Amino acid sequence: MSASSSLRRFPGVRAAAWVFFAYLYIPIAVLLVLAFNAGSSATIWEGFSTRWFGIVLGNPNIIRAAQNSLVIAVVASLAATLMAIPAAIGMARRRFRGQNAVSALIALPLVVPEVVTAVATLLFFTAITLPLGLSTIILAHVVFCIPFAYLPIRARLEGMDASLAEAASDLYATPWRAFRRVTLPLLWPGILSGLMLAFIISLDDFVITFFVSGAGATTLPVYIYGMIRIGVTPEVNAISALMLLISIVFVALSWFVGRTRH
């Protein structure tokens, strides 16, 4: 008997699971419905309409914030992935003293409270007198996204047959040629999966961005926070629905690409 089937035998487990998922997803479903509200209320349904999405897409401040978010996410995810590839290969190919400690350091941003990372990053930028702006957000996001890009690549390497690279070496291929012709094609699904995961993490990040952003460097999550402080409107619901849709698409693509087999 599997552990999952034995767990379901405990009384109340199924009910607790339904309560958990309802608590987690019903508010999201309500937000999606209210994003199509025809009225001006963010909480009272007055009919179906898509006009708020048109208002959002026609707002120059929102477009500017979205452009900032896209630029930051693209640059940060690409840089984080390029750093994660050699790190994952180095960690997977050989054992060395202190390897577990290095793995823990790479994964540390995943377990450290994000507000602690944000405050520490802000103090560091202040100490080196680096002006806050898009550059500081990108630097902070690169460091924060490395573990998210690293883990899918490392998982892909763990599932690869090491004898393939050895066979390439036996056929007189140089290490670079063996990597380019053998390892890299097999590793592409993990690289793309890590890239998309890092991209969506950077695009959705609020806490770190809020601390290290400067004037003229407002991203979409920070802009939404500023709107909520004034009052929740259907416009906020529409923006949130669009960001949710983008997040779901990229997370799903990351999952499917990561499961691709050659």
pLDDT digits (tens, 9 = 90+) for 103-112: 888 888 888 8
Q: Which residues contact 213 (CB under 8 A, 6 or more apart)?
A: 132, 133, 136, 137, 219, 222
10 and 92 inside one domain? no
pLDDT digits (tens, 9 = 90+) for 3-41: 555 656 666 777 888 888 899 889 888 888 888 888 777
Range of the domain at 230: 59-258
Residue 138 has pLDDT above 90, yes or no: yes
Provide the pLDDT confidence category of residue 1 given band limits of 50, 70 and 90.
Answer: very low
Residue 74 has pLDDT above 90, yes or no: yes
pLDDT for position 169: 64
Provide the pLDDT confidence category of residue 95 given band limits of 50, 70 and 90.
Answer: confident
pLDDT for position 4: 54
CA dihedral 217→220→226→229, nearest 10 degrees, is: -160
Give domain status of residue 179, yes or no. Answer: yes
Could you tell me the CATH number of the domain that includes residue 242?
Answer: 1.10.3720.10
28 and 117 inside one domain? no
Domain count, the chain: 2
19 and 99 inside one domain? no
158 and 241 inside one domain? yes
24 and 141 inside one domain? no
Which of 15-19, 61-65, 90-94, 147-151 is predicted least confidently?
90-94
pLDDT digits (tens, 9 = 90+) for 57-72: 888 988 898 899 999 9
Does pTM top 0.95 for this prediction? no
pLDDT for position 168: 64
237 and 123 inside one domain? yes
Give domain status of residue 53, yes or no. Answer: no
Give domain status of residue 46, yes or no. Answer: no
- For the residues 43-60, what does the mean pLDDT come to? 84
103 and 201 inside one domain? yes
- pLDDT > 70: percent of the chain: 85
Give domain status of residue 51, yes or no. Answer: no
80 and 151 inside one domain? yes
Q: Which helix (H) or strand (E) holds 262?
A: none
pLDDT for position 78: 95
Q: How many CB atoms lie within 10 A of CB 228?
A: 13
DSSP symbols for 6-55: HHTTSTTHHHHHHHHHHHHHHHHHHHHHHTTBSSS-SSS---B--HHHHH
Whether the Cβ atoms of residue 213 and residue 226 lie closer than 8 Å to each other: no
Give domain status of residue 161, yes or no. Answer: yes
User: Does the CA dihedral 108-113-114-120 come out positive or negative?
Assistant: negative
130 and 7 inside one domain? no
Q: What share of the chain is helix, strand, coil (3-state, %, to 5)?
A: 75, 0, 25
177 and 227 inside one domain? yes
- For the residues 116-142, what does the mean pLDDT come to? 92
pLDDT digits (tens, 9 = 90+) for 156-200: 887 766 666 666 665 666 666 766 677 777 788 888 888 988 999
Roughly what angle, to the nearest 10 degrees, separates helices 114-127 and 134-158?
130
235 and 179 inside one domain? yes
Give domain status of residue 50, yes or no. Answer: no
Mean of all residue pLDDT scores within the chain: 83
83 and 182 inside one domain? yes
Give domain status of residue 47, yes or no. Answer: no
Give domain status of residue 45, yes or no. Answer: no
